[in-house]
């Protein structure tokens, strides 16, 4: 069966067409800078990548380009050949504890979470509606980033604020990147032939979160009520003292929306370095001796190390640590710095093994107290597998 996986971000859209259950990828693509000047997309088929420069004003236009590429590259002759479409949705609140078939009721419920994930949920729902209009007879499935984290215990997801905030307004920790963390746990458990592992999953990239997992159950995760919480990221601050917000509002004469825009879009790597939100640019700045790039890298790696140490304690010693996503899979220096900062736990990286990118590999030395792996994530495959299971 041909399953189309759609993973839309605030200004991007990734897609894969996967033949299941064989897990054969027929085509994939990545639309970038949607709604921003200089938009483009890459199509990869038969190990060839082709870049197309084009103006993409919104996600609906990206969907039209996507459909054209499926026909142009002979993936399908009719849209009816797509047996199901799986959509990544960032927020399902505590309503959706697993993936679901999309209908009008599900869409209405999802729209209620737009205030909780304003950068991601609206464009994702716009994509869903565009696909429903283009393929009205094809079943659509919603796969929620928050669903995996619904296995957390109450003492982990309740904040120490007035309990009425939770009862009336749903103020609690939700967690994100759940589709990726679930894929990482599934992969490492199968590779090590152990379904009861205690895993620290480090999804570190432009967006970043860490998850402590015990036998497939989420114990805790770094993102919280929104994707702004937890680690420092490409443009997001991560955890800060909440009293900073009214202080900056007063001293900079900014509205609360303007301050939150700064925390979401002008903080993290870009905020500290003043150079870029892209870790590759930060590493280049470090090579050139840029002190603020060095500072940004040191803050980032220390934040990740702190969470690893905390989650190792929560799990009463992890069985394995996994690095994934853009930085986790591809930045040799970042992985090394993070592991060096938890050396007190007996974690040791083998520099030769760590000298690799983008593939499953053990990177720790034989005398490391906890094995460390790089595990490439594949949210699109996870989305496709969930979609196949539901449309059966």
Helix axes 178-191, 379-391, angle to 10 degrees: 90
Distance (Å, whole) CA 185 – CA 200:
9
In the chain the beta strands, taken as DSSP E runs, fall at: 2-8, 13-19, 24-32, 40-45, 48-53, 84-89, 100-101, 140-144, 198-204, 208-214, 217-221, 320-324, 361-362, 372-374
Each residue's pLDDT, cut to its tens digit, for the chain (392 residues) gives 999 999 887 778 889 999 999 999 999 999 988 887 888 999 999 888 999 988 988 888 888 899 999 999 999 999 889 999 999 998 898 899 999 999 999 999 999 888 877 777 888 888 898 889 888 999 999 999 999 999 999 999 999 999 999 999 889 999 999 999 999 999 999 999 999 999 999 999 888 999 999 999 999 999 999 889 999 999 999 999 999 999 999 999 999 999 999 999 999 999 999 998 888 899 999 999 999 999 999 999 999 999 999 999 999 999 999 999 989 999 999 999 999 999 999 999 999 999 999 999 999 999 999 999 999 999 889 999 999 999 98
Beta bridge partners of 39: none
- The residue from 115, 145, 220, 239 that is catalytic is 145
Q: What domains can be seen in the chain, in order of their start residue?
A: 2-144 (3.30.420.40), 193-374 (3.30.420.40)
How many Cβ atoms from other residues are within 10 Å of residue 369's Cβ? 14
Q: Residue with structure tokens 């959509």? A: 87
Per the annotation, the verdict on 350 as an active-site residue is no
């Amino acid at each position: 069966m041909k399953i189309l996986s759609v993973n839309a971000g605030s200004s991007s859209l990734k897609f894969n067409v996967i033949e299941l259950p064989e897990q054969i990828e027929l085509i994939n693509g990545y639309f970038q800078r949607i709604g921003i000047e200089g938009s483009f997309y890459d199509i990869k088929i038969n190990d060839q990548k082709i870049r197309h420069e084009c103006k993409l004003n919104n996600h609906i236009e990206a969907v039209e380009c996507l459909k054209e590429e499926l026909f142009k590259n002979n993936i399908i002759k009719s849209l009816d050949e797509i047996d199901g479409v799986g959509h990544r949705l960032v927020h399902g609140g505590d309503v959706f504890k697993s993936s679901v078939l999309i209908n009008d009721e599900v869409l209405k419920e999802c729209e209620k979470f737009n205030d909780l994930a304003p950068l991601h949920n609206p464009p994702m729902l716009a994509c869903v509606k565009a696909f429903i209009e283009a393929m009205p007879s094809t079943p659509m499935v919603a796969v929620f980033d928050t669903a995996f984290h619904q296995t957390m215990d109450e003492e982990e997801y309740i904040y120490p604020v007035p309990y009425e905030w939770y009862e009336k307004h749903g103020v609690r920790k939700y967690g994100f990147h759940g589709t990726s963390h679930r894929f990482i746990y599934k992969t490492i458990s199968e590779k090590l032939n152990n379904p009861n592992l205690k895993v620290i999953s480090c999804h570190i990239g432009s967006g970043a979160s860490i998850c402590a997992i015990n036998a497939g159950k989420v114990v805790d995760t770094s993102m919280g009520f929104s994707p702004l919480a937890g680690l420092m990221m490409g443009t997001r601050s991560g955890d800060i003292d909440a009293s900073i917000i009214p202080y900056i509002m007063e001293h900079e004469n900014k509205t609360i929306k303007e301050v939150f825009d700064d925390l979401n879009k002008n903080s993290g790597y870009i905020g500290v370095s003043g150079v870029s939100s892209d870790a590759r640019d930060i590493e280049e700045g470090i090579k050139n001796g840029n002190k603020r790039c060095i500072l940004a890298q040191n803050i980032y790696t220390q934040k990740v190390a702190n969470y690893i140490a905390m989650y190792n304690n929560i799990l009463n010693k992890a069985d394995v640590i996994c690095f994934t996503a853009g930085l986790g899979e591809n930045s040799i220096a970042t992985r090394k710095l993070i592991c060096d900062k938890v050396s007190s736990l007996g974690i040791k990286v083998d520099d030769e093994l760590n000298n690799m990118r983008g593939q499953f590999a053990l990177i720790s030395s034989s005398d490391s107290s906890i094995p460390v792996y790089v595990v490439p994530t594949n949210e699109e495959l996870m989305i496709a597998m969930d979609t196949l299971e539901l449309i059966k």
